[in-house]
Structure 1
Protein backbone atom coordinates (compact mmCIF):
# COMPACT_ATOMS: atom_id res chain seq x y z
CA UNK A 1 0.00 0.00 0.00
CA UNK A 2 2.80 2.37 0.97
CA UNK A 3 4.57 1.46 -2.21
CA UNK A 4 1.51 2.23 -4.28
CA UNK A 5 1.13 5.61 -2.59
CA UNK A 6 4.76 6.41 -3.21
CA UNK A 7 4.49 5.35 -6.83
CA UNK A 8 1.40 7.47 -7.33
CA UNK A 9 2.93 10.60 -5.83
CA UNK A 10 3.38 13.25 -8.49
CA UNK A 11 6.90 14.63 -8.66
CA UNK A 12 7.03 18.26 -9.83
CA UNK A 13 8.90 18.51 -13.09
CA UNK A 14 11.98 20.72 -13.06
CA UNK A 15 11.63 23.85 -15.12
CA UNK A 16 13.47 23.31 -18.39
CA UNK A 17 14.92 26.76 -18.81
CA UNK A 18 16.96 27.29 -21.97
CA UNK A 19 20.63 27.89 -21.37
CA UNK A 20 22.11 30.86 -23.16
CA UNK A 21 25.79 30.74 -22.23
CA UNK A 22 26.74 29.61 -25.73
CA UNK A 23 24.93 32.61 -27.23
CA UNK A 24 26.67 35.00 -24.85
CA UNK A 25 29.96 33.42 -25.96
CA UNK A 26 29.06 34.29 -29.55
CA UNK A 27 28.42 37.91 -28.63
CA UNK A 28 31.71 38.07 -26.72
CA UNK A 29 33.55 36.57 -29.70
CA UNK A 30 32.02 39.16 -32.01
CA UNK A 31 32.84 42.07 -29.72
CA UNK A 32 36.38 40.74 -29.34
CA UNK A 33 36.66 40.57 -33.12
CA UNK A 34 35.55 44.18 -33.39
CA UNK A 35 38.20 45.09 -30.81
CA UNK A 36 40.82 43.27 -32.89
CA UNK A 37 39.67 45.18 -35.97
CA UNK A 38 40.24 48.47 -34.16
CA UNK A 39 43.30 47.54 -32.13
CA UNK A 40 45.63 45.33 -34.17
CA UNK A 41 46.63 47.88 -36.87
CA UNK A 42 48.39 49.97 -34.20
CA UNK A 43 51.45 47.71 -34.38
CA UNK A 44 52.14 48.26 -38.07
CA UNK A 45 50.94 51.87 -38.25
CA UNK A 46 54.16 53.38 -39.56
CA UNK A 47 55.22 55.78 -42.29
CA UNK A 48 54.35 54.04 -45.62
CA UNK A 49 57.74 55.14 -46.96
CA UNK A 50 59.35 52.60 -44.61
CA UNK A 51 57.57 49.62 -46.16
CA UNK A 52 60.20 49.34 -48.90
CA UNK A 53 62.98 48.92 -46.33
CA UNK A 54 62.36 46.04 -43.93
CA UNK A 55 65.12 47.07 -41.55
CA UNK A 56 63.66 50.54 -41.05
CA UNK A 57 60.10 49.17 -41.04
CA UNK A 58 60.87 46.72 -38.25
CA UNK A 59 62.82 49.35 -36.30
CA UNK A 60 59.71 51.56 -36.37
CA UNK A 61 57.78 48.79 -34.57
CA UNK A 62 60.33 48.60 -31.78
CA UNK A 63 58.73 49.17 -28.38
CA UNK A 64 55.25 48.09 -29.48
CA UNK A 65 55.44 44.55 -28.13
CA UNK A 66 52.57 45.19 -25.72
CA UNK A 67 50.18 45.38 -28.67
CA UNK A 68 51.14 41.83 -29.60
CA UNK A 69 50.60 40.51 -26.09
CA UNK A 70 47.12 42.02 -25.92
CA UNK A 71 46.39 40.81 -29.43
CA UNK A 72 47.36 37.26 -28.51
CA UNK A 73 45.00 37.26 -25.51
CA UNK A 74 42.14 38.70 -27.57
CA UNK A 75 42.70 36.19 -30.38
CA UNK A 76 42.64 33.22 -28.01
CA UNK A 77 39.56 34.59 -26.23
CA UNK A 78 37.72 35.03 -29.52
CA UNK A 79 38.73 31.56 -30.70
CA UNK A 80 37.51 29.89 -27.52
CA UNK A 81 34.22 31.78 -27.55
CA UNK A 82 33.66 30.93 -31.22
CA UNK A 83 34.14 27.23 -30.46
CA UNK A 84 31.50 27.38 -27.72
CA UNK A 85 29.19 29.38 -29.97
CA UNK A 86 29.66 26.78 -32.71
CA UNK A 87 28.54 23.95 -30.43
CA UNK A 88 25.52 25.87 -29.15
CA UNK A 89 24.48 27.11 -32.58
CA UNK A 90 24.62 23.59 -33.95
CA UNK A 91 22.38 22.35 -31.14
CA UNK A 92 19.99 25.28 -31.59
CA UNK A 93 19.58 24.70 -35.32
CA UNK A 94 19.45 20.91 -35.02
CA UNK A 95 16.46 21.23 -32.66
CA UNK A 96 14.48 23.00 -35.40
CA UNK A 97 15.88 21.63 -38.64
CA UNK A 98 14.93 18.22 -40.12
CA UNK A 99 16.91 15.29 -38.74
CA UNK A 100 20.04 14.69 -40.77
CA UNK A 101 20.06 18.19 -42.27
CA UNK A 102 23.41 19.76 -43.11
CA UNK A 103 22.76 23.33 -41.97
CA UNK A 104 23.60 22.80 -38.25
CA UNK A 105 26.90 21.16 -39.15
CA UNK A 106 27.75 23.80 -41.75
CA UNK A 107 27.05 26.58 -39.24
CA UNK A 108 29.31 24.97 -36.65
CA UNK A 109 32.07 24.17 -39.15
CA UNK A 110 32.32 27.77 -40.31
CA UNK A 111 32.82 29.08 -36.79
CA UNK A 112 35.38 26.38 -36.02
CA UNK A 113 37.35 27.31 -39.15
CA UNK A 114 37.44 30.90 -37.97
CA UNK A 115 38.51 29.85 -34.48
CA UNK A 116 41.36 27.78 -35.93
CA UNK A 117 42.62 30.69 -38.02
CA UNK A 118 42.51 32.95 -34.96
CA UNK A 119 44.71 30.51 -33.06
CA UNK A 120 47.17 30.46 -35.96
CA UNK A 121 47.21 34.25 -35.99
CA UNK A 122 47.74 34.31 -32.24
CA UNK A 123 50.69 31.99 -32.69
CA UNK A 124 52.22 34.35 -35.24
CA UNK A 125 51.83 37.25 -32.81
CA UNK A 126 53.67 35.27 -30.13
CA UNK A 127 56.68 34.74 -32.40
CA UNK A 128 56.55 38.37 -33.48
CA UNK A 129 56.48 39.50 -29.85
CA UNK A 130 59.75 37.76 -29.02
CA UNK A 131 61.38 38.91 -32.24
CA UNK A 132 60.62 42.54 -31.38
CA UNK A 133 61.97 41.97 -27.88
CA UNK A 134 65.29 40.83 -29.40
CA UNK A 135 65.58 42.87 -32.57
CA UNK A 136 69.37 42.76 -32.57
CA UNK A 137 69.24 38.96 -32.85
CA UNK A 138 66.58 38.67 -35.54
CA UNK A 139 66.38 39.00 -39.30
CA UNK A 140 64.41 42.07 -40.38
CA UNK A 141 63.00 40.32 -43.45
CA UNK A 142 61.62 37.49 -41.32
CA UNK A 143 60.05 39.90 -38.84
CA UNK A 144 58.47 41.88 -41.67
CA UNK A 145 57.00 38.68 -43.11
CA UNK A 146 55.55 37.77 -39.71
CA UNK A 147 54.06 41.25 -39.44
CA UNK A 148 52.32 40.71 -42.78
CA UNK A 149 50.82 37.43 -41.51
CA UNK A 150 49.83 39.10 -38.25
CA UNK A 151 47.95 41.74 -40.23
CA UNK A 152 46.15 39.18 -42.40
CA UNK A 153 45.44 35.69 -41.03
CA UNK A 154 43.43 36.55 -37.89
CA UNK A 155 41.26 38.91 -39.92
CA UNK A 156 40.06 36.31 -42.44
CA UNK A 157 36.74 35.42 -40.79
CA UNK A 158 35.33 33.94 -44.00
CA UNK A 159 34.30 30.81 -42.09
CA UNK A 160 31.92 32.87 -39.97
CA UNK A 161 30.35 34.05 -43.21
CA UNK A 162 29.60 30.40 -43.98
CA UNK A 163 27.89 30.13 -40.60
CA UNK A 164 25.88 33.29 -41.23
CA UNK A 165 24.79 31.84 -44.56
CA UNK A 166 23.60 28.64 -42.89
CA UNK A 167 21.59 30.66 -40.36
CA UNK A 168 20.10 32.75 -43.17
CA UNK A 169 18.96 29.67 -45.08
CA UNK A 170 17.57 28.06 -41.93
CA UNK A 171 15.56 31.17 -41.11
CA UNK A 172 14.29 31.96 -44.59
CA UNK A 173 13.45 28.39 -45.53
CA UNK A 174 11.95 26.99 -42.32
CA UNK A 175 11.78 29.86 -39.83
CA UNK A 176 14.30 28.03 -37.65
CA UNK A 177 15.42 31.48 -36.48
CA UNK A 178 13.59 34.80 -36.52
CA UNK A 179 13.09 36.26 -39.97
CA UNK A 180 14.88 39.52 -39.16
CA UNK A 181 17.96 37.58 -38.00
CA UNK A 182 17.78 35.50 -41.17
CA UNK A 183 17.72 38.64 -43.33
CA UNK A 184 20.53 40.26 -41.33
CA UNK A 185 22.58 37.05 -41.64
CA UNK A 186 22.00 37.04 -45.40
CA UNK A 187 23.25 40.63 -45.72
CA UNK A 188 26.36 39.86 -43.64
CA UNK A 189 26.98 36.73 -45.70
CA UNK A 190 26.89 38.73 -48.92
CA UNK A 191 29.33 41.26 -47.48
CA UNK A 192 31.72 38.46 -46.50
CA UNK A 193 31.39 36.96 -49.99
CA UNK A 194 32.35 40.32 -51.50
CA UNK A 195 35.53 40.41 -49.39
CA UNK A 196 36.43 36.94 -50.65
CA UNK A 197 35.75 37.79 -54.29
CA UNK A 198 38.36 40.57 -54.34
CA UNK A 199 41.90 40.75 -52.89
CA UNK A 200 40.58 42.04 -49.54
CA UNK A 201 39.96 38.78 -47.70
CA UNK A 202 41.04 40.18 -44.34
CA UNK A 203 38.13 42.65 -44.37
CA UNK A 204 35.81 39.69 -43.71
CA UNK A 205 36.49 40.35 -40.03
CA UNK A 206 34.23 43.43 -40.01
CA UNK A 207 30.90 41.94 -41.19
CA UNK A 208 31.60 38.54 -39.63
CA UNK A 209 32.36 39.96 -36.18
CA UNK A 210 29.28 42.17 -36.40
CA UNK A 211 27.18 39.13 -37.31
CA UNK A 212 28.54 37.08 -34.39
CA UNK A 213 27.77 39.93 -32.00
CA UNK A 214 24.21 40.46 -33.21
CA UNK A 215 23.42 36.75 -33.59
CA UNK A 216 24.82 35.96 -30.15
CA UNK A 217 22.81 38.71 -28.50
CA UNK A 218 19.68 37.69 -30.40
CA UNK A 219 19.92 34.07 -29.31
CA UNK A 220 20.75 35.11 -25.75
CA UNK A 221 17.70 37.35 -25.45
CA UNK A 222 15.15 35.46 -27.53
CA UNK A 223 11.91 34.18 -26.07
CA UNK A 224 11.29 30.45 -25.96
CA UNK A 225 9.99 29.26 -29.27
CA UNK A 226 11.11 32.26 -31.31
CA UNK A 227 11.31 31.37 -34.98
CA UNK A 228 8.96 28.37 -34.82
Structure 2
Protein backbone atom coordinates (compact mmCIF):
# COMPACT_ATOMS: atom_id res chain seq x y z
CA UNK A 1 0.00 0.00 0.00
CA UNK A 2 1.14 3.48 -0.79
CA UNK A 3 1.20 6.04 1.97
CA UNK A 4 -1.12 8.96 1.46
CA UNK A 5 0.84 12.24 1.74
CA UNK A 6 -0.47 14.66 4.31
CA UNK A 7 -2.43 17.64 2.95
CA UNK A 8 -0.47 20.78 2.35
CA UNK A 9 -1.06 23.52 4.89
CA UNK A 10 -3.38 26.25 3.75
CA UNK A 11 -1.88 29.66 3.43
CA UNK A 12 -3.60 32.96 2.95
CA UNK A 13 -3.34 34.34 -0.58
CA UNK A 14 -0.69 36.94 -1.08
CA UNK A 15 -2.08 40.43 -1.43
CA UNK A 16 -0.24 43.24 -3.10
CA UNK A 17 -0.37 46.39 -1.07
CA UNK A 18 -0.54 49.40 -3.33
CA UNK A 19 1.46 52.41 -2.39
CA UNK A 20 0.34 55.99 -2.88
CA UNK A 21 -0.08 57.04 -6.50
CA UNK A 22 2.44 59.26 -8.21
CA UNK A 23 1.78 62.78 -9.44
CA UNK A 24 1.57 62.26 -13.18
CA UNK A 25 -2.21 61.82 -13.10
CA UNK A 26 -2.65 65.20 -11.41
CA UNK A 27 -0.54 66.96 -14.03
CA UNK A 28 -2.66 65.25 -16.69
CA UNK A 29 -5.65 67.08 -15.20
CA UNK A 30 -3.90 70.44 -15.44
CA UNK A 31 -2.80 69.64 -19.00
CA UNK A 32 -6.38 68.70 -19.93
CA UNK A 33 -7.58 72.05 -18.63
CA UNK A 34 -4.96 73.95 -20.60
CA UNK A 35 -5.48 71.95 -23.79
CA UNK A 36 -9.24 72.17 -23.45
CA UNK A 37 -9.45 75.90 -22.85
CA UNK A 38 -6.78 77.01 -25.31
CA UNK A 39 -7.32 74.29 -27.88
CA UNK A 40 -11.11 74.22 -28.08
CA UNK A 41 -11.28 78.00 -28.11
CA UNK A 42 -8.53 78.14 -30.72
CA UNK A 43 -10.25 75.70 -33.06
CA UNK A 44 -13.71 77.24 -32.78
CA UNK A 45 -13.35 79.38 -35.90
CA UNK A 46 -14.33 76.97 -38.66
CA UNK A 47 -16.46 79.58 -40.39
CA UNK A 48 -16.27 83.30 -41.11
CA UNK A 49 -18.45 85.69 -39.16
CA UNK A 50 -20.16 87.00 -42.27
CA UNK A 51 -21.24 83.46 -43.23
CA UNK A 52 -22.73 83.02 -39.76
CA UNK A 53 -24.46 86.41 -39.79
CA UNK A 54 -25.97 85.74 -43.20
CA UNK A 55 -27.72 82.62 -41.93
CA UNK A 56 -27.08 80.99 -45.31
CA UNK A 57 -26.34 77.27 -44.95
CA UNK A 58 -24.63 77.10 -48.34
CA UNK A 59 -22.22 79.88 -47.41
CA UNK A 60 -21.68 78.24 -44.04
CA UNK A 61 -20.79 74.89 -45.65
CA UNK A 62 -18.41 76.62 -48.05
CA UNK A 63 -16.76 78.45 -45.16
CA UNK A 64 -16.31 75.21 -43.20
CA UNK A 65 -14.73 73.62 -46.28
CA UNK A 66 -12.16 76.41 -46.32
CA UNK A 67 -11.27 75.65 -42.69
CA UNK A 68 -11.24 71.85 -42.88
CA UNK A 69 -7.71 71.71 -41.42
CA UNK A 70 -9.08 73.26 -38.22
CA UNK A 71 -11.74 70.56 -38.08
CA UNK A 72 -9.04 67.90 -38.23
CA UNK A 73 -6.98 69.68 -35.56
CA UNK A 74 -10.06 69.83 -33.34
CA UNK A 75 -10.52 66.07 -33.63
CA UNK A 76 -6.88 65.34 -32.76
CA UNK A 77 -6.98 67.78 -29.87
CA UNK A 78 -10.18 66.25 -28.53
CA UNK A 79 -8.58 62.81 -28.53
CA UNK A 80 -5.71 64.22 -26.46
CA UNK A 81 -8.06 65.92 -23.99
CA UNK A 82 -10.12 62.74 -23.56
CA UNK A 83 -6.98 60.72 -22.81
CA UNK A 84 -5.73 63.24 -20.26
CA UNK A 85 -9.13 63.46 -18.57
CA UNK A 86 -9.46 59.70 -18.19
CA UNK A 87 -6.01 59.38 -16.64
CA UNK A 88 -6.89 62.21 -14.28
CA UNK A 89 -10.19 60.53 -13.39
CA UNK A 90 -8.47 57.27 -12.47
CA UNK A 91 -5.82 59.03 -10.40
CA UNK A 92 -8.35 61.25 -8.63
CA UNK A 93 -10.41 58.21 -7.69
CA UNK A 94 -7.43 56.44 -6.19
CA UNK A 95 -6.19 59.58 -4.44
CA UNK A 96 -9.51 60.12 -2.70
CA UNK A 97 -10.14 56.42 -2.04
CA UNK A 98 -6.95 56.26 0.01
CA UNK A 99 -8.22 59.09 2.23
CA UNK A 100 -11.98 58.65 2.38
CA UNK A 101 -13.76 55.98 4.49
CA UNK A 102 -14.12 52.64 2.68
CA UNK A 103 -17.32 52.37 0.70
CA UNK A 104 -17.85 56.13 0.45
CA UNK A 105 -19.27 57.71 -2.67
CA UNK A 106 -16.95 60.72 -2.89
CA UNK A 107 -14.17 59.06 -4.94
CA UNK A 108 -16.62 57.56 -7.43
CA UNK A 109 -18.58 60.82 -7.85
CA UNK A 110 -15.36 62.81 -8.34
CA UNK A 111 -14.05 60.41 -10.98
CA UNK A 112 -17.47 60.07 -12.59
CA UNK A 113 -17.76 63.81 -13.18
CA UNK A 114 -14.42 63.85 -14.99
CA UNK A 115 -15.40 60.80 -17.04
CA UNK A 116 -18.71 62.45 -17.98
CA UNK A 117 -16.79 65.44 -19.28
CA UNK A 118 -14.50 63.16 -21.28
CA UNK A 119 -17.57 61.57 -22.88
CA UNK A 120 -18.85 65.00 -23.95
CA UNK A 121 -15.52 65.81 -25.60
CA UNK A 122 -15.42 62.36 -27.20
CA UNK A 123 -18.89 62.77 -28.69
CA UNK A 124 -18.05 66.27 -29.84
CA UNK A 125 -15.06 64.93 -31.74
CA UNK A 126 -17.43 62.66 -33.63
CA UNK A 127 -18.87 65.76 -35.27
CA UNK A 128 -15.44 66.49 -36.71
CA UNK A 129 -15.48 63.30 -38.73
CA UNK A 130 -18.95 64.09 -40.06
CA UNK A 131 -17.97 67.65 -40.93
CA UNK A 132 -14.75 66.54 -42.61
CA UNK A 133 -16.52 64.19 -45.00
CA UNK A 134 -19.50 66.50 -45.47
CA UNK A 135 -17.48 69.39 -46.91
CA UNK A 136 -14.64 67.55 -48.67
CA UNK A 137 -14.15 67.23 -52.42
CA UNK A 138 -17.18 65.63 -54.03
CA UNK A 139 -19.26 65.80 -50.86
CA UNK A 140 -23.02 65.84 -51.42
CA UNK A 141 -24.14 66.61 -47.87
CA UNK A 142 -27.12 68.90 -47.46
CA UNK A 143 -25.85 72.38 -46.49
CA UNK A 144 -28.58 72.60 -43.85
CA UNK A 145 -27.17 69.45 -42.25
CA UNK A 146 -23.71 71.01 -42.21
CA UNK A 147 -25.12 74.12 -40.58
CA UNK A 148 -26.74 72.01 -37.88
CA UNK A 149 -23.50 70.19 -37.17
CA UNK A 150 -21.65 73.49 -36.90
CA UNK A 151 -23.98 74.55 -34.09
CA UNK A 152 -23.26 71.35 -32.17
CA UNK A 153 -19.54 71.58 -32.98
CA UNK A 154 -19.35 74.68 -30.83
CA UNK A 155 -21.43 73.26 -27.99
CA UNK A 156 -21.08 69.52 -27.32
CA UNK A 157 -17.31 69.33 -26.59
CA UNK A 158 -17.66 72.42 -24.40
CA UNK A 159 -20.14 70.74 -22.06
CA UNK A 160 -17.81 70.46 -19.09
CA UNK A 161 -20.57 70.71 -16.51
CA UNK A 162 -19.80 67.20 -15.30
CA UNK A 163 -16.73 68.65 -13.61
CA UNK A 164 -19.14 70.35 -11.22
CA UNK A 165 -19.77 66.94 -9.65
CA UNK A 166 -16.03 66.38 -9.32
CA UNK A 167 -15.38 69.82 -7.85
CA UNK A 168 -18.24 69.42 -5.37
CA UNK A 169 -16.99 65.99 -4.32
CA UNK A 170 -13.48 67.32 -3.72
CA UNK A 171 -14.92 70.24 -1.76
CA UNK A 172 -16.91 67.87 0.44
CA UNK A 173 -13.84 65.73 1.00
CA UNK A 174 -11.99 68.80 2.22
CA UNK A 175 -14.65 70.42 4.36
CA UNK A 176 -16.37 67.34 5.81
CA UNK A 177 -13.45 64.98 6.43
CA UNK A 178 -10.34 67.03 5.64
CA UNK A 179 -9.36 64.35 3.14
CA UNK A 180 -7.82 67.07 0.97
CA UNK A 181 -6.30 70.44 1.80
CA UNK A 182 -8.32 73.59 2.38
CA UNK A 183 -7.04 75.12 -0.86
CA UNK A 184 -8.50 72.23 -2.85
CA UNK A 185 -11.73 72.40 -0.88
CA UNK A 186 -12.21 76.12 -1.49
CA UNK A 187 -11.26 75.82 -5.16
CA UNK A 188 -13.68 72.95 -5.58
CA UNK A 189 -16.53 74.81 -3.88
CA UNK A 190 -16.10 77.92 -6.03
CA UNK A 191 -15.85 75.86 -9.23
CA UNK A 192 -18.89 73.79 -8.29
CA UNK A 193 -21.01 76.92 -7.83
CA UNK A 194 -19.85 78.40 -11.14
CA UNK A 195 -20.42 75.16 -13.00
CA UNK A 196 -23.85 74.76 -11.47
CA UNK A 197 -24.73 78.25 -12.68
CA UNK A 198 -23.87 77.27 -16.25
CA UNK A 199 -26.25 74.33 -16.01
CA UNK A 200 -29.16 76.38 -14.68
CA UNK A 201 -28.96 78.88 -17.56
CA UNK A 202 -29.15 78.11 -21.31
CA UNK A 203 -25.40 78.58 -21.65
CA UNK A 204 -24.18 75.12 -20.76
CA UNK A 205 -21.22 75.33 -23.13
CA UNK A 206 -19.76 78.15 -21.02
CA UNK A 207 -18.89 75.39 -18.51
CA UNK A 208 -15.67 74.89 -20.46
CA UNK A 209 -14.17 78.00 -18.86
CA UNK A 210 -14.73 77.36 -15.11
CA UNK A 211 -14.20 73.64 -15.66
CA UNK A 212 -10.85 74.13 -17.33
CA UNK A 213 -9.82 76.67 -14.70
CA UNK A 214 -10.64 74.19 -11.94
CA UNK A 215 -8.44 71.57 -13.58
CA UNK A 216 -5.58 74.02 -14.09
CA UNK A 217 -5.64 75.14 -10.45
CA UNK A 218 -6.44 71.79 -8.82
CA UNK A 219 -3.93 69.76 -10.82
CA UNK A 220 -0.81 71.24 -9.17
CA UNK A 221 -2.49 71.22 -5.74
CA UNK A 222 -3.34 67.54 -6.10
CA UNK A 223 0.16 66.80 -7.37
CA UNK A 224 1.65 68.43 -4.28
CA UNK A 225 -0.73 66.49 -2.03
CA UNK A 226 0.16 63.21 -3.75
CA UNK A 227 3.88 63.98 -3.49
CA UNK A 228 3.55 64.61 0.23
CA UNK A 229 1.69 61.34 0.69
CA UNK A 230 4.42 59.46 -1.17
CA UNK A 231 7.08 61.05 1.01
CA UNK A 232 5.38 60.07 4.30
* TM-score between the two structures when normalised by the length of structure 2: 0.85
1:224 corresponds to: 228
Equivalent residue, structure 2, for 1:183? 186
**How do 1:145-156 residues align onto structure 2 when only pairs under 5 Å count?**
145-156=148-159
Q: Who is 1:3 aligned against? A: none
The alignment partner of 2:130 has SS state of helix
Q: Distance in 1 between matches of 2:207 and 2:182?
A: 23
Runs of at least 4 residues of structure 1 off by over 3 A? none
C-alpha deviation, 1:57, in angstroms: 2.0
Are the aligned partners of 1:46 and 1:60 in contact in 2 as well (CA < 8 Å)?
A: no
30-39 vs 98-107, which moves further: 30-39
Query: Which of 89, 112, 115 is 1:112 aligned to?
Result: 115
User: Structure 2: any 5+ residue segments left out of the alignment?
Assistant: 1-18
Whether the 8 Å contact between 1:153 and 1:202 is mirrored in structure 2 is: yes
Write the distance in 1 (CA, Å) between the matches of 2:149 and 2:114.
25
The change in CA–CA distance for 1:171 and 1:201 in structure 2 (over 3 A counts) is: same
Corresponding residue of 2:53: 49
The Cα offsets for residues 103-140 of structure 1, whole Å up to 9 and x where unpaired, read as 00000111111111111101111111221223652210
Q: How many residues align?
A: 211
Q: Tell me the TM-score normalised to structure 1 length.
A: 0.87
Identify unmatched segments of 5+ residues in structure 1: 1-15
Q: In the alignment, what sits opposite 1:139?
A: 142
1:30 alignment counterpart: 33
Asked whether the equivalents of residues 161 and 195 of structure 2 are also in contact (C-alpha less than 8 Å), the reply is yes
**Does the 8 Å CA contact 1:165/1:186 hold for their aligned counterparts?**
yes
1:91 aligns with 2:98: no
Do the aligned residues in 2 keep the contact of 1:46 with 1:57 (CA within 8 Å)?
no
Deviation at 1:45, TM superposition (A): 4.2
Aligned twin of 1:4: none
Residue 205 (structure 1) aligned to one of 201, 205, 208: 208
Paired position in structure 2 for 1:21: 24
After superposition, the CA RMSD in angstroms is 1.9
What is the CA distance between 1:172 and its match in structure 2?
A: 1.1
* Whole-Å separation in 2 of the counterparts to 1:42 and 1:116: 22
